[in-house]
Structure 1
Amino acid sequence: MGGIVLLGLIAGLGTCLGALLVTSCGRLRPGTLSLLLGFAAGIMAAVIIFDLLPSSLRYGSLPLACAGFCAGTGLMYALDLWLNTLSPSFINKKGYYLKMGYLISTGIALHDFPEGLAIAAGFAAADKLGPLLVLAIGIHNIPEGMATAAPLKIGGLSARRVLAINALISLVTPLGVFVGQVLVESSRTFIGLLLSFAAGAMTYIVLHELVPESRRNSKPLAHFGIIWGLLLILTLNLIA
């Protein structure tokens, strides 16, 4: 169990890497950000289509998979709605960016937990699915860390405090891995449900966050990143 939790921590530390890029190098060029977000979207989409959903159906029933998928998307939708309700609709002082950064941090921490559950379920389902999820979630967490760090930095927080906040967020993923392993070991029926739940949560993130944001600055670079993300997972599936 300890080794898989450690891998969950490595995936979670992608958030710290993204924050480090912002605090040390400043803002990335818009085109680079589009490419990185598109790459993360492509990786997550491929994992959902070729690994999570087929595995959830193999280890559970179709109704269970549909229920888990709807629950995952519903959780992300509710979180998104809650954050939009709390966020003000105007931009003025640094305090707004600071508040935005804390809200984003909360949202990322909440949806990192089911990602940890997905890693645990992935290792229980198949040897190759777990490492693929660690890779996908780790890369996906890099732009999330950037999204968290940027408003906090603009809001006036020091680089040390920004990195400390992202370090705390990074611990949520291995916590999800630990809880997921307990659930899986208690009953194997949880595997299919957890996999479909993660697929639903990731689908919402891809469609409502990563893809739209990646296309904001450069559609060609975003599409290029998506294609290469898809190809990377397909290649790993073929050689695994």
Structure 2
Amino acid sequence: MSGIVLQGLIAGLGTCLGALLVIVLGRMRPGTLSLMLGLASGIMTAVIIFDLLPSSLRYGSPTAALGGFMGGIALMLALDLGTNIFAPVTFPGRDYLKMGYLIATGIALHDLPEGLAIAAGFATAEKLGPLLVLAIGLHNIPEGMATSAPLRHGGLGAGRVLAINIIISLITPIGTFFGLVLVESSRSFVGPLLAFAAGAMTYIVLGELAPESRRNNRTLSYLGMLFGLSLIILLSFIV
């Protein structure tokens, strides 16, 4: 169990990598950001289509899979609406520090079902778990950037920004631990958990990553998506 929780921590530390990018490099060029977000979108889409949904149907009933999938979407939608209500990013004269803290809270809540997804992935097949670690880790990089940029713009020191992202990164392994406990108590949780993760990741891709990646450079966005899809398909043959 400890090894799987450690891999959950590795995925969570993608948030810290995103924070370091903001601290060291400052504002990323729009094209680079589009490419990175497109890459994360492609990887997560491939994991959803080729691994999470088929495995959820294999380890559970279609009804349980549908319920889990809709539950994942509903949770992400609730978190998204809550973030938009309490921290609208387009509000003029925004207090950047307050916005950064609220975004950090929302991302921390997002990371809990990601940890559950990693646990469910390792419970089904050896290759699905590492793929989820890779996909979620890459997805966490722009999340760390989204948290750190307003905090830095608001004047928060680099050390405190990094500390906040370290705390956020711990949520993923915590979710992984609780997911493993659920799976070990009953294998019937595996199918719904996988479908739940698929729903949550679908909402993240369609509602956040893909639209944002196309905002600045559509060509680089689509190239990133294509590379991400191809990478996961290739890994599925060699892992």
Normalised TM-score (structure 2): 0.98
CA distance in structure 1 between the partners assigned to 2:44 and 2:123 by the alignment: 19
Look up the match of 2:93. Answer: 92
1:176-215 to structure 2, matched below 5 A, reads: 176-215=175-214
Look up the match of 2:125. Answer: 126
CA distance in structure 2 between the partners assigned to 1:229 and 1:100 by the alignment: 30
- The amino acid that maps onto 1:81 is L
Look up the match of 1:59. Answer: 59
1:121-200 to structure 2, matched below 5 A, reads: 121-200=120-199
Listed one character per residue, the Cα deviations across residues 47-86 of structure 1 (whole Å, up to 9, x for unaligned) are: 0000000000000000000000000000000111111111
Listed one character per residue, the Cα deviations across residues 1-51 of structure 1 (whole Å, up to 9, x for unaligned) are: 000000100110000000000011101100000000000000000000000
1:66-81 to structure 2, matched below 5 A, reads: 66-81=66-81
Aligned residues: 238
Cα deviation for residue 220 of structure 1 reads 0.4
- Runs of 5+ unmatched residues, structure 2: none
CA distance in structure 1 between the partners assigned to 2:122 and 2:203 by the alignment: 23
CA distance in structure 2 between the partners assigned to 1:148 and 1:47 by the alignment: 25
Look up the match of 1:11. Answer: 11
Look up the match of 1:226. Answer: 225
Look up the match of 1:41. Answer: 41
CA distance in structure 1 between the partners assigned to 2:84 and 2:141 by the alignment: 23
- The amino acid that maps onto 1:60 is G
Look up the match of 1:32. Answer: 32
CA distance in structure 2 between the partners assigned to 1:168 and 1:115 by the alignment: 15
CA distance in structure 2 between the partners assigned to 1:158 and 1:43 by the alignment: 33
- The amino acid that maps onto 1:92 is G
CA distance in structure 2 between the partners assigned to 1:71 and 1:99 by the alignment: 29
CA distance in structure 2 between the partners assigned to 1:200 and 1:103 by the alignment: 23
CA distance in structure 2 between the partners assigned to 1:201 and 1:90 by the alignment: 27
Cα deviation for residue 91 of structure 1 reads 2.2
Listed one character per residue, the Cα deviations across residues 94-142 of structure 1 (whole Å, up to 9, x for unaligned) are: xx21111111111110010000000000000001000000011111111
Q: Which runs of 4+ in 1 moved over 4 A?
A: none
Listed one character per residue, the Cα deviations across residues 147-181 of structure 1 (whole Å, up to 9, x for unaligned) are: 11001110110010100000000000000000000
Is 2:21 the partner of 1:21? yes
CA distance in structure 1 between the partners assigned to 2:87 and 2:112 by the alignment: 22
Normalised TM-score (structure 1): 0.98
